[in-house]
A = this chain, B = another copy of it.
Amino acid sequence: MDFAYDAKTEELRTRLLTFMDEFVYPAEAVLEQQLHDADDPWQRQPVLEELKAEARRQGLWNLFLPDAEHGAGLTNLQYAPLAEITGRSPHLAPEALNCAAPDTGNMEVLAMFGTDEQKKQWLQPLLDGEIRSAFCMTEPDVASSDATNIATRIERDGDDYVINGRKWWSSGAMNPNCAIFIVMGKTDPGADRHRQQSQILVPRDTPGITVQREMRVFGYGDHAHGGHAEIVFDNVRVPASNLIAGEGEGFAIAQARLGPGRIHHCMRLIGMAERALELMCRRAVSRVAFGKPIATQGVVQEWIAEARVRIEQARLLVLKTAWLMDTVGNKGAHTEIQAIKIGTPLMTEWVLDKAIQAHGAGGVSQDTPLAELWVAARTLRLADGPDEVHRMSLAKRELKKYL
């Protein structure tokens, strides 16, 4: 048992921390201004493109991809502390490093399951940060925590597949730069529970696609990320060669992306919590009330101590989960993956709530990143299935030991 990061991780952490200080944090206000001034809030913001160029120049690029051919070849345990650092500025850093969801999951899927042709056409420009992508899975009318509920149809018709259905919360799809959707649907509703679904590549400009509206989270549009869209697929026709991996493989592909997806989210949440704690401390030492810095107030001290305890605990479980994924595989790490999905968003939400409270009215406003970070953490208690579903599932596995 050893709790020190390895040399490669330490080296990358050092470089990434420097990149954050020199380029990312200063860009936060620039992005805010560019979004504010933009005629169309969905257009690409120049500051992000500059950050991407710089990150690529520095070799801080595609760190998430364990596949050494296409990505950085890091283990989950090596990538996790880097993802944490990007979480400190989650609206800039992940995309700057080409490590932003849902592109990361889509690139993983293409790297693992894509044909050479699919890789050339879609994986390469994604790896190069030239286009973005969306993953169209969640549907408005059914509980998505159960994949058999999916209603979207993908039907074979000659050399094509024809897609019909309605998706929402398709992240990134409002972005004009989003060129490709990976769509989950049913090719065979009569097959076994987990063989009904397939995934297929659908270029965004295919006829029959209507982006109906943006979904807002609390009051935010998540513009920097390309928003979240509700999309109707009305007889959308793509060549059969766009299918990924084969009919009936949709559920397995979705499972494959879940583990890494969740651990990336959780690592970034740790970084968000660290950012919140830092801002809370900075505020506490500088803000004076009743004649003394609020850092001298017992209640504020309690928040800070409790935040530190909770962050340390949560981080270690995320890191152990990454280690388990590396050593025994995603299946062997199932309980831990679920545990961090349950515990980390709640922890980060709690720290952010206290940081907001320490900032007074400014904390709920646009003057700090706290309110928007809070929304991100809160939303992750629902994304990929609500906490309650994960708790139920984890409990059933725990109970099985005694049956």
Which A positions have Cβ atoms within 8 angstroms of B? Answer: 1-6, 9, 77, 138, 140, 143-146, 168-169, 215-221, 277-278, 281-282, 284-285, 287-290, 295, 297-306, 308-310, 312-314, 316-317, 319-320, 323-324, 335-336, 339, 342-343, 356-357, 360-366, 371-372, 374-375, 378-379, 381-383, 386-392, 394-396, 398-399, 401-403
Q: What are 17 A-B contacts defined by CB distance under 8 Å?
A: A3-B319, A138-B361, A143-B288, A143-B289, A143-B290, A146-B289, A216-B366, A218-B219, A277-B398, A282-B402, A298-B302, A302-B391, A308-B339, A308-B394, A316-B316, A356-B382, A364-B379
How many monomers of this chain does the complex have? 4
Task: State whether A301 and B218 are in contact (beta carbons under 8 Å apart), knowing that A317-B316, A336-B312, A402-B285 are contacts in the complex.
Answer: no
CB-defined contacts of A298 to chain B, threshold 8 Å? 297-302, 388, 392
CB distance from A314 to the nearest CB of B (A): 6
C-alpha spacing A402/B357, complex, angstroms = 19
CB distance B306 to A316 under 8 Å? no
Partner of A285, one of B169, B378, B391, B403: B403
A324 and chain B: residue at smallest CB distance: B3
Pairs A-B, 9 closest by C-beta atoms: A219-B219, A298-B298, A219-B220, A305-B391, A301-B395, A316-B316, A313-B313, A143-B289, A304-B395
CB distance A387 to B309 under 8 Å? no
A81 and chain B: residue at smallest CB distance: B1
C-alpha spacing A239/B314, complex, angstroms = 52
C-alpha spacing A396/B296, complex, angstroms = 9
CB distance from A379 to the nearest CB of B (A): 5
CB distance B362 to A140 under 8 Å? yes
C-alpha spacing A243/B1, complex, angstroms = 39
